[in-house]
Amino acid sequence: MARWQDVVEQLESMAPPALAGGWDNVGLLLEGTRAVRRALLCVDLTPPVVDEALAMDADLVIAYHPPIFSGLKRLTSSTPQGRSLLALIRAGVTVHSPHTALDAAAGGMNDWLLEAFGTLVEVAPLEPDRVEPAVGAGRRATLLSPRPLAELIPAIKAHLGLDAVRVATPSDAHVVETVAVCPGAGGSLFDKAPGHGLYLTGELRHHDVLALVAAGSAVVLTDHTNTERGYLPRLAARLTERVPSVRFELSAIDADPLRIR
């Protein structure tokens, strides 16, 4: 058991809120009243995940995407979001969201996403943080040797645990020397992606895909949260090392909302 403040302190030492995008809403979102024995990790704190957290008697929820983002002008039971937040408040559950701070941090989601490509050199952020330029939004890197795109696709799918990804390429024989990655929606770093042989992200606008292909880059899209959810076991393990008195558990309900049928 630990105080929620101690868990949040460790989480924020791994993913400092100062690294988050200025538009983001990271950090402590609901201040609970309970000491923490069990913590639930998820990407999206949907109503079913809230029910899961309450059923398992979780004291803390670490939701990668902030469930309170913008436009929350009242907190009532008239909306699904309101009902969920009120239920968590009544139960004394703390909610924290690391989002883009976790993306940007060393050893965070960007670096994990790069692991799909094996050993890399010249690793750097696509958009360096102004205070800590060694980290920041997105990542770019150079492969040890050029590799065919057809060889990289299976590695990406294996790393992310996916059966299929969407691919746009200048040619079927496309060879990749450099890669760029961005978890989730990659449009914010679109202008940093040209010049790299491959851009791996969750989602991208149609015309951005066309522009990248025209510039000679291949694009691999996985759907938004499929570039994010696979990091949660790593996060749980890191937190367990730092706060061993707390059980950090992955949501069994949280999943990408889109399915291929």
For the chain, the structural domain boundaries read: 4-98, 106-227
* CATH fold for the domain made of 4-98: 3.40.1390
Task: Compute the chain's Rg from CA coordinates.
Answer: 19
Sequence-distant (≥ 6) Cβ neighbours of residue 156 within 8 angstroms:
116, 117, 162, 165, 200, 220, 222
State pTM to two decimals: 0.95
* 97 backbone dihedrals φ, ψ, rounded to 5°: -130, 120
Intervals of the chain under pLDDT 70: none
Residue 177: alpha-carbon gap to chain centroid: 25
Residue 71: per-residue pLDDT = 78
Residue 139: per-residue pLDDT = 98
Torsion of CA 30, 31, 37, 38, to 10 degrees: 0
Residue 195: per-residue pLDDT = 84
Residue 89: per-residue pLDDT = 98
Same fold: 4-98 with 106-227:
yes
Residue 259: per-residue pLDDT = 85
Instruction: Return the CATH number of 106-227, one of 3.10.450.630, 3.40.1390.30, 3.90.1300.10, 3.30.465.10.
Output: 3.40.1390.30
